[in-house]
Each structure stands twice: as C-alpha cells, then as structure tokens.
Amino acid sequence: MNSPIRVAVTGAAGQIGYSLLFRIASGAMFGPGQPVILQLIEAPIEKALKALEGVAMELDDCAFPLLHGIVQTSDPAVGFKDANWCLLVGAKPRGPGMERADLLKDNGRIFIGQGQIIDQVAAADARVAVVGNPANTNCMIAASQAKRLPPERFTAMVRLDQNRAQSQLAKKAGVPLTAVENIFIYGNHSPTMFPAFAHATINGRPAMAVINDDAWLQGAFCETVGKRGAAIIAARGASSAASAANALVDHVRSLVTPGAIHSVAVKSNGAYGFDANVWAGMPVRTTTPGSYAVITGQAMDEFAQTKIAATNRELTEERAMVAELLPKAS
C-alpha cells in the first residue's frame, strides 16, 4: 500500500462535492492501492461549514479503507497545506441580474487568493484542477499567481463536455459508448466549445462516415453538447453535479494514467491558433503521472477553424475582463 496523498477540495459541501468526495475516498480517482487524506475547504459561512460537518460524518460512516484522514476548514492555508492535488470546485454562482464581467471579477479574486496560497503551501508535486466556473479563466488566473509551480500544473476541466460528446455520438450511431473514440473538446467550457467530430472514430472508422450526416454534426450535435449544462438546469432545476463529479474523477484519473489520451484545458502556448495566454481545451497524452504533452497537428478544416476562432475570442474577452487582476507582465 502506498503512503497517503493529500487531496484538497474547495466547495466541498456543495452539490458537486457531495457526489465527488465519496468517489475519491472509495479509490475511483487514484486507484485501489492509493490511500487519501481529504482536505475539505468551504467558504467561511456558518451554513456551509455546518453542512461540511455533515458530509465529513457521512464519509466516516462509509468506513472507506482508503480514507486515512479528513481535514475540515475555511482557511485555505490549512486546506491546501502539503496538498498533492488541489481540486478547485467552489466558486461564486452567477446571481440574478449579475453581469458576466462581475462574475468573472468576483471569482477572479477567489482564484487569485487560492493560486497564491497553493503556490506557497501545497506539496512540491502539487497539481491543480479547476472546475468552478468560468473554469478556464479561473484556472488562468490561479496559474498567474504561481511563482513556484509551473503553469502546466494548472488544468481546467472540459472532460464533462468530452463525455457528453462521446455519449451523443454513440446514441446517434446506435453503438456502445466504448465504440466511440478520439472525440476531443477544444476551447472554453462554455457553449462556444468545439467538439472536434472530424477526428472521432466509431468502431475504428471515421465518425463522419459512420454517421453520414454533416448537418447534424455541425448543427444539433455541437449545439447539444455546448448547451447541455443549460438543458440539465431546465430539466432538473439544478446544475449538473453527479456528471460533473464523475468527469472530475475521469479528468484526474486520466492525468495520472500514463498513455491516456483525453481533453484537458491547458495553457495553450499558441497551439491550434489559441492565444498563447489562455487556458483552452485540447487533446493531451499523459506522459508520467500528473504530466502530459499536448497532441498537436490535428488537421482542422474551415468549419473547425471558425469554431476554434470563436471560442478563442471568448477566452481572450474573458481574459480582458479580468486584466486588472493579473500581474502586469503576464
């Protein structure tokens, strides 16, 4: 049995937290031989901290053999201390009448503080995965504060979008989910994201040939995947939680599994025409546990280029809206 790793989770008493923590503690994220210590961080709000107590009690009551400890705190310096993985799920939701720019700035301030503290107190091998929206820009903001941890350590989640796209393609083709491969998400975790169907395969054949309906792929498919979050809110009366938690399990599991190929929002460095200083979804191959290489050179036709330009534009606009929060040189 390995020695335990420390996994910090913000927003631990929220909806996603409630679906996520039990999966981590059961071994779904890091495997059946890897014990964990959960470091649960909530906002300094009485109701949230009380709810967190209840969640910790339930974790105890599961008697998970891999769960070697639970920390409960509203102090990020305690919660991120020596953390090997920092899962940033908590964020401020968009309130009624709130402008997108205000949401970006309010969350930006949270992620500035968390980026600084993680950089100061987390483990030397710390990895950060951001779920709280706007996830890509929050991730960019947190990474901008780091002096010790390099930007590749900061990733944002687009795996829910990849899973949604895979599922939609399987349904349309009438095949089992596992028949669908190589569907990757480019850009922002927002309705502008681009699920690049031209590279996808179904039973090893090009998905475009199998589905044979370009109008559906360019239209309904992209729209369904892009607006799935809103459809779930409309149906369920609450935003995606279990599927988001499941996607974060997949995101981290793939990042610690050498050879895994999957979609992650990472610092673009200019690949695929993304601005060099935005965090954009793209395919990566995990090299060693926690490290990855971006898969470059996937051909993009005119439709794909237009979609990528649109999602890149949104990312650069988000960046401009929080420019005042960023270090001058970045």
Residue 269 CB contacts under 8 Å (≥ 6 apart), including other chains: 276, 294
Of 182 and 240, the one with the shorter C-beta distance to ligand NAX is 240
From the list 5, 7, 8, 11, which residue makes contact with ligand NAX (rule: CB under 6 A)? 11
Does 250 interact with ligand NAX (rule: CB under 6 A)? no
From the list 35, 108, 115, 132, which residue makes contact with ligand NAX (rule: CB under 6 A)? 132
The secondary structure of residue 156, as a DSSP letter, is E
Does 135 interact with ligand NAX (rule: CB under 6 A)? yes
| Cβ contact 82:117 at 8 Å | no
How far apart are CB 48 and ligand NAX at their closest, in Å? 4
Of 35 and 243, the one with the shorter C-beta distance to ligand NAX is 243
Q: How far apart are CA 92 and CA 76, in angstroms?
A: 16
Which segment (23-31, 140-148, 233-241, 289-297) binds ligand NAX by CB under 6 A?
233-241
From the list 140, 244, 252, 280, which residue makes contact with ligand NAX (rule: CB under 6 A)? 244
Q: How far apart are CA 229 and CA 236, in angstroms?
A: 10
Q: Which member of 68, 189, 251, 262 is catalytic?
A: 189
How far apart are CB 33 and ligand NAX at their closest, in Å? 28
Does 312 interact with ligand NAX (rule: CB under 6 A)? no
Binding to ligand NAX by CB under 6 A, coded x per residue (else -) over 183-202, reads ------x-------------
Region for 66 from its dihedrals, namely left if φ exceeds 0, alpha if ψ lies in -120 to 50, beta otherwise: alpha
Q: Which residues pair with 128 in a beta bridge?
A: 86, 154
| 3-class secondary structure, 129 | strand
From the list 16, 66, 67, 304, which residue makes contact with ligand NAX (rule: CB under 6 A)? 16
How far apart are CB 41 and ligand NAX at their closest, in Å? 5
Peptide bond into 65 cis (omega under 30): no
Residues in 271-290 that interact with ligand NAX by CB under 6 A: none
Which segment (5-13, 24-32, 171-179, 303-311) binds ligand NAX by CB under 6 A?
5-13
What are the backbone angles phi and psi of residue 121, rounded to the nearest 5°?
-120, -15
Which segment (28-36, 38-46, 203-211, 286-294) binds ligand NAX by CB under 6 A?
38-46
The one-letter amino acid at 76: P
Instruction: Characterize the bridge pairing of strands 67-73 and 36-41.
Output: parallel
| Cβ contact 193:158 at 8 Å | yes
Does 39 interact with ligand NAX (rule: CB under 6 A)? no
From the list 5, 7, 36, 91, which residue makes contact with ligand NAX (rule: CB under 6 A)? 91
Does 241 interact with ligand NAX (rule: CB under 6 A)? yes
Q: How far apart are CA 111 and CA 108, in angstroms?
A: 5
How far apart are CB 329 and ligand NAX at their closest, in Å? 26
Region for 91 from its dihedrals, namely left if φ exceeds 0, alpha if ψ lies in -120 to 50, beta otherwise: beta
> Is 262 marked active-site?
no
Does 110 interact with ligand NAX (rule: CB under 6 A)? yes
| 3-class secondary structure, 286 | strand
Does 240 interact with ligand NAX (rule: CB under 6 A)? yes
Does 225 interact with ligand NAX (rule: CB under 6 A)? no
- DSSP letters, 4-73, are PEEEEEESTTSHHHHHHHHHHHHTTTT-TT--EEEEEE--S-HHHHHHHHHHHHHHHHHT-TTEEEEEEE
Active site residues: 189
Which residues contribute to the site for ligand NAX (CB under 6 A)?
10-11, 13-17, 41-43, 45, 48, 89-93, 110, 131-133, 135, 157, 160, 189, 229, 239-241, 244
